[in-house]
Amino acid sequence: MEKGEDEVNQGAILSPRREDFFLEGERELTMTVFGSQRNFSTVLNSFCCILAPRLPGSNSQGCRRFIQLRTVTENFLICLKTAFFFFSLFTLYSLFLTNASADNAPERIISLAPSTTEILFALGLGEKIVGVTSFCDYPVEAREKAKIGGMSNPSLEAVLSLQPDIVVMTTDGNPKEFEARLRSLNIRTYVFTARRIRELPVAIRDMGRVLGAEEPSRMLSAEIEKAISRLGNNRPSDSRKKKVLFIVWPEPLIVAGPGTAIDDALDLLGVENIAGNAKTAYPKYSIEEVLYQSPDVIFIGKGMQANMREVSRGLLHKLGLVPAVKNGSVFFVSDSLYRLGPRIIKGIEELETCLK
Amino acid sequence: MPKIKIALLIALLFSVCILALFLGPRGINPLDLSDIDRTIVFSIRLPRVLISLLMGMALGASGAVLQGILRNPLADPYILGISSGASLFAAFGIIMGFSFIGTFTIPALAFTGAILTGVIVGIIGRKKGGIWPERLLLAGVGLSFLFSALLMLMLSLSSDEGLRRSVLWIFGDLSLSEWSRIPYGSVFILAGLLLAMTRAKALNALILGDELAHSLGFSPHTERLVLFVSVGLMTAASVSLGGMIGFIGLLVPHIIRFFMGADSKVLIPAAALGGGVLLCVADLISRSVLPPMELPAGIVTAIIGSPYFLYLLRRKNVLSI
């Protein structure tokens, strides 16, 4: 928990600092360019003036040729000076622009994960999102945004071409190297580090602060906190916890294990996830073990998907002896809990209704 | 002497089956079965053991036959691209979420892919009225590169969930074993095995070279075609039952040769039995070592099989097939 907050803060502090440094560097560079421009033209001018009459072969013909030559040089110099002038104007202008946007909230946001996309939309930042991953399908508006590739393999070029003010990433799914790459290209990043439900409110508030949506983020995180504390108070006190299994995919049997939002949700609801002792987040689970553990309730995720009931039939047939199947406590639920985002509350409430 | 060895192998196979039925993530006492134990033994472990036997037999036998007809010790059932074709079709089905014939969809797609690839390889390998080993081999390698590239392309474009399930399938996944898969699997595999065993004499002749085979009264091209069909049937059925299992097709025939010699009449059934034993043991290990999780059986076969093979290679004085 503490570690997570630290990382969040670090990310928030680091980015403006780096930007300051960048601005300073650019200013310095412009100064140098101005200085060198003056020196360069002076030197070249004096060079022409001093050396002109002393060049070898200074008869009349040569003189004429040289005069012509000097005119060309001068023209060239004038062009060069104008170019430098406009270049420096442009640099100064862009400098002011970046300065202005660094003070305000970012206007062009790219989200590199479906969960952060959902949070951004919930914070009312949907209009400012210019790019999302190809997996960002919720809310519906997200599907119309420009795609920058997958979560684990976003396209650097696509990100750059969208000229983002900030790129929002997660530690859960985005490659660390990509973040470093963006930083090295002077693109501001914000890393969303929450992985568990309890870390979500703090992380959302922090993200809102950085992205200039403090008020909505406070409201959203308060809502999540309220849901968490309500569940904490209503927790069933009886000694025998219900045993539950959340199936992500029936064939091969993949279930929600420890460290997932689903596991957290089950814990908040005061039931026991029988796959909580597995070694990975989404283990391929042994069917025999399900029979031995005999869960009282089975949830099957993405149950609204057309073929999920069909695909699970074989598995449920094999699990005929398990109390959940015998008592008809097999529930097909939505995929609200698959992403650590604003839909978590809805997902928990959905499970709660089923468990009652 | 070979008969005794084969009898020993059959005995080994039975004992391994019994072990695989009653050992596992939790041991089951066969004399005291509760309801749950009975379900586990009869509707989960038994079909799984049978499928692992069928797959292992198919891979071992088709490896032995293929190394003979291609006259190449590096040949294995997957070298002909059959498995790549099957993986491509299966992964496509998994990623697109097809389920038009329920749980049979993916095996059926894999079988179609495998047979289709086999036919294409056969057509390319055919020239001047016969199948030529080198052409067959090169056609298979070329096609399998193409299919692997397409598979990689598809995997790199797919969502994480589809990717995970496809990879699990490709690594070999026996957890999907059901009684309903056994009839069709056993029909194709036993047909292929019988076909190969009846042509064992011809295979012996083919190993000596086409001219000798011809002078011994076998038509090399016809025999090769028949044997190729048997390999195709066995491999396609095995891949569609449980994905790709490495090691068995390539190295089990060699291990059997170390002990029983290279006579195809003995080698084919012995390699089939050996493959069955190995896959059954590997599957037992893969579901028992890290409960409640399961490992892909294909990885375990290679991890336990390869060191043993290298040890044998060091010990025995074998210079060629």
Chain A contact set for B36 (CB, 8 A): 291-292, 294, 321
* Alpha-carbon torsion angle B6, B12, B17, B18, nearest 10: 130
Question: How confident is the model over A156-199, as pLDDT tens digits?
Answer: 999 999 999 999 999 888 888 999 989 999 899 999 988 889 89
Answer yes or no: are the C-beta atoms of B171 and B243 closer than 8 Å.
Answer: yes
Which region among A37-41, A350-354, B85-89 has the lowest average model confidence (pLDDT)? A37-41
pLDDT at A26: 43
Using the predicted structure, report yes or no on whether residue A25 has a pLDDT greater than 70.
no
User: A309 vs chain B: nearest CA distance in angstroms?
Assistant: 10
| Closest by Cβ to B176, choosing from A251, A279, A289 | A251
Residue A232, pLDDT > 80, answer no
CA distances from A140 to A37, A208, A302 (A): 54, 22, 17
- pLDDT of the residue at A6: 45
ipTM over the 0.85 cut-off: no
Q: Write down the pLDDT at residue A274.
A: 92
A49 pLDDT more than 50: no
Q: Closest approach of chain A CAs to the CA of B235, in angstroms?
A: 22
Taking CA atoms, what residue in B is nearest to A310? B102
Q: Which residues on chain A place their C-beta less than 8 Å from a C-beta of chain B?
A: 135, 150-153, 173, 248-249, 251-254, 275, 277-280, 282-289, 291-294, 305, 307, 310-311, 313-314, 318, 320-321
Q: Which residues pair with A300 in a beta bridge?
A: A247, A332
Q: Name, in order, each residue with C-beta under 8 angstroms of B211's C-beta and a sequence gap of 6 or more.
A: none
**How far away is chain B from the Cα of A109, in angstroms, using its nearest Cα?**
23
In this structure, the number of other CB atoms found within 10 A of the CB of residue B132 comes to 17
For residue A341, give the DSSP letter. Answer: S
Q: How far is B115 from chain A (nearest CA, A)?
A: 24
Could B102 and A313 be called an inter-chain contact, meaning their C-beta atoms sit closer than 8 Å?
A: yes
Statement: residue B121 has pLDDT above 70 = yes
Q: Over 70: is that where the pLDDT of B272 sits?
A: yes
Binary contact (B26, A151; C-beta < 8 A): no
- The verdict on a CB contact (< 8 Å) between A283 and B292 is yes
The pLDDT value recorded for residue B291 is 79
* Residue of B124 and A18 predicted with greater confidence: B124
Q: Is the pLDDT at B3 greater than 90, yes or no?
A: no
Which residue segments constitute the domains of chain B, with CATH numbers given? Answer: 2-315 (1.10.3470.10)
Q: Minimal CA–CA distance to A109: which of A163, A60, A171?
A: A163
> What average pLDDT is seen over chain A?
78
CB nearest to B294's CB, from A286, A292, A305: A286
Mean pLDDT computed over every residue of chain B = 87
Q: How far is B256 from chain A (nearest CA, A)?
A: 33
Per residue in A82-133, pLDDT (tens digit) is 788 777 776 666 555 544 444 567 899 999 999 999 999 999 999 999 999 9
A61 has pLDDT over 70: no
Site from B28, B35, B39 to mutate, A interface, most A CB atoms within 10 angstroms: B39
Nearest chain A residue to B98, by CA: A307
Higher pLDDT, B143 or A313: B143
Which residue in B has a C-alpha nearest to residue A283's C-alpha?
A: B293
Instruction: Report which of B129, B272, B141 is spatially closest to residue B195, judged by C-alpha positions.
Output: B272
> What mean pLDDT comes out for the span B239-260?
88
